[in-house]
C-alpha cells in the first residue's frame, strides 16, 4: 500500500467517524468532534508534506474534500 492509499484510508476512516459524531444532537459541545477535527487538520498537513501536487489533488477528490473544508481542518490546529 503506497502513501496515497494509506492517507486516503486514514481520511476515510476519520471522516466517517466525524460524520457519525455530527449526527448526534450534542455535537456542538462534543469534545470527540473537536479532537477528530484537529486530527484531520494534522492529517492535512501530513498529506501536504508527503504527497506531490497531483497526488494531493487525487486524495482530495477521492475523499470528497474541497479546498474550503481542507483549510478549515488545518485552521483547527494552526490557530
- C-alpha–C-alpha distance, residues 27 and 53, integer Å: 34
Q: Could you list the residue range(s) of the whole structural domain that residue 35 is in?
A: 3-14+31-78
**How confident is the model over 36-57, as pLDDT tens digits?**
899 999 999 999 999 999 999 9
Residue 23 lies inside a defined structural domain of this protein? no
Domain count, the chain: 1
Q: pTM for this structure? A: 0.83
Residue 40 lies inside a defined structural domain of this protein? yes
Sign of CA dihedral 19, 21, 22, 24: positive
Residue 24 lies inside a defined structural domain of this protein? no
**How confident is the model over 16-38, as pLDDT tens digits?**
988 887 777 665 557 778 888 99
- Written as nine digits, the cell of 7 is 492517507
- C-alpha–C-alpha distance, residues 23 and 28, integer Å: 11
Residue 26 lies inside a defined structural domain of this protein? no
Residue 58 lies inside a defined structural domain of this protein? yes
Amino acid at each position: 500500500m503506497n502513501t496515497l492509499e494509506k492517507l486516503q484510508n486514514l481520511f476515510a476512516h476519520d471522516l466517517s467517524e466525524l460524520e457519525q459524531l455530527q449526527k448526534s444532537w450534542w455535537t456542538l459541545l462534543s469534545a470527540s468532534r473537536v479532537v477528530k477535527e484537529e486530527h484531520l487538520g494534522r492529517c492535512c498537513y501530513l498529506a501536504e508534506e508527503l504527497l506531490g501536487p497531483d497526488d494531493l489533488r487525487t486524495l482530495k477528490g477521492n475523499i470528497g474534500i474541497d479546498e474550503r473544508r481542507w483549510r478549515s481542518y488545518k485552521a483547527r490546529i494552526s490557530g
